[in-house]
């Protein structure tokens, strides 16, 4: 890498000298402009292929899971080529919601009751036209968990459903309380440390289709919630496998990274306003237990969590809540196959907080770590509108588990 950097600096210096000379003798008349463009293009291509496009790091706690993924989910061992003009972490993160398409999906909404008198909104894609699984009772079911303030309308959720439709699977999106337009019936929202609502949803779905293969996939905070659930319940879950994408492994490290000035400006403040907006719609439900005026003055996610989330769920301090919310503490207890895709340049989830050593101790866990991709970015191709690397990992993994998951038991 040092030698490559030295060569690139030397090439840049020589090109600069060459440019100065050609400007003096007539830049455009000599056709040098094209030569310089070609020269820079070659230099950039060399840099991209040697430093940007890389195979992901595959970390598993057992040879069986690693071999299974190499055989049935080969995308996790192939070189990931980030979009050549947008491979930087923040660029990938910011651009994805605007550049990726939003496939049309017709949902069937269901509201289910909770033990405390609340309700949860589920958006179903039944896929009744499935040609591969015509029997609804055995049609594979994929539970999808969106991110922090996300719903079933997020582009990454729509892409997952579109991919599942290609496979003939049924999908159901778990919308956290109060974010999908439904009324909040009790003074309670959601957080990634409390898994009660997720447990309710999983058991509800399984009771409807007990014979169907059942998997789950969580994105960002949805993945944190899913991992905390799996870490608490171990192997005693109806789920046969799960996948997570861009999970924040250590909430303290995530918060610290997002509070750096540029990250605060680009991401933290905006997400804080989204959280404030989501709870302010139900303000009348919280005024007896929470100082909502103080909540609405929060300038960061940490301040919001200190003033609202930690109080809502009865934590003594924000540190107590963040400790309980961090899924790295429970990874060792996960009892079903789980694939976790993260980019090491994700400012939402710093690479130093990714629990590599813990993953090596659990044969059910596989970490797939790319060098680039940002937070829920993973853009690839010249114009990454239809598909991302994350989409391909999702599709191959769920298909592998549905069609070949039994092989893991025999390895």
pLDDT value at position 48?
82
d(CA 262, CA 10): 31
Residues of the chain with pLDDT under 50: 1-12, 14-29
Task: Answer yes or no: 346 catalytic.
Answer: yes
pLDDT value at position 5?
43
pTM for the structure as a whole:
0.90
d(CA 82, CA 359): 26
Question: CB-based burial of residue 220 (10 Å sphere; 0-12 exposed, 13-18 middle, 19+ buried)?
Answer: buried
Of 159, 162, 372, 375, the catalytic one is 375
pLDDT value at position 13?
52
The stretches of 305-373 forming alpha helices (DSSP H) are 310-312, 318-325, 356-359
Cβ neighbours of 299 (radius 10 Å): 13
Task: Answer yes or no: 220 catalytic.
Answer: yes
* Domains of the chain as residue ranges with CATH: 52-250+327-405 (3.40.50.1820), 251-325 (no CATH)
- Bridge partners of 370, per DSSP, are 343
d(CA 268, CA 271): 5
Cβ neighbours of 291 (radius 10 Å): 13
Of 346, 372, 387, 391, the catalytic one is 346
Of 152, 220, 255, 257, the catalytic one is 220
pLDDT value at position 298?
98
pLDDT value at position 121?
97
Structure tokens at 195: 């898994």
């Amino acid at each position: 890498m040092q030698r490559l950097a030295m060569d690139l600096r030397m090439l840049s210096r020589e090109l600069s000298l060459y440019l100065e000379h050609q400007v003096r003798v007539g830049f455009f008349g000599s056709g040098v402009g094209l030569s310089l463009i070609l020269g820079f293009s070659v230099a950039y291509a060399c840099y991209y292929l040697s430093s940007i496009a890389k195979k992901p790091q595959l970390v598993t706690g057992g040879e069986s899971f690693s071999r299974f993924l190499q055989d049935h989910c080969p995308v996790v061992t192939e070189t990931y080529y980030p979009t050549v003009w947008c491979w930087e972490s923040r660029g990938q993160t910011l651009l994805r919601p605007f550049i990726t398409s939003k496939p049309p999906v017709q949902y069937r909404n269901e509201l289910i009751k909770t033990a405390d008198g609340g309700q949860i909104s589920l958006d179903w894609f039944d896929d009744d036209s499935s040609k591969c699984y015509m029997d609804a009772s055995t049609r594979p079911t994929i539970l999808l968990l969106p991110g922090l303030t996300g719903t079933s309308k997020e582009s990454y959720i729509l892409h997952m459903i579109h991919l599942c439709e290609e496979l003939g699977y049924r999908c159901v999106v778990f919308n956290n309380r109060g974010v999908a337009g439904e009324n909040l019936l009790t003074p309670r929202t959601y957080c990634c440390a409390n898994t009660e609502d997720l447990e309710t949803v999983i058991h509800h779905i399984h009771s409807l289709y007990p014979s169907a293969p059942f998997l789950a996939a969580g994105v960002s905070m949805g993945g944190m919630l899913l991992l905390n659930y799996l870490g608490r319940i171990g192997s005693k879950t109806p789920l046969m496998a799960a996948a997570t994408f861009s999970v924040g492994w250590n909430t303290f490290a995530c918060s610290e990274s997002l509070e750096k000035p540029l990250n605060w400006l680009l991401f933290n403040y905006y997400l804080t306003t989204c959280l404030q907006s989501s709870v302010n719609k139900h303000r009348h439900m919280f005024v007896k237990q929470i100082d909502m005026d103080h909540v609405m003055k929060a300038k960061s996610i940490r301040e919001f969590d200190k003033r609202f989330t930690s109080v809502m769920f009865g934590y003594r301090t924000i540190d107590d809540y963040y400790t309980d919310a961090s899924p790295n503490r429970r990874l060792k207890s996960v009892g079903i196959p789980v694939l976790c895709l993260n980019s090491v340049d994700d400012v939402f989830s710093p690479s130093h907080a990714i629990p590599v050593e813990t993953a090596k101790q659990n044969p059910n866990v596989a970490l797939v770590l790319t060098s680039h991709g940002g937070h829920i970015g993973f853009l690839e191709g010249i114009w990454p509108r239809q598909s991302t690397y994350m989409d391909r990992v999702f599709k191959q993994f769920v298909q592998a588990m549905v069609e070949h998951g039994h092989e893991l038991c025999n390895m």
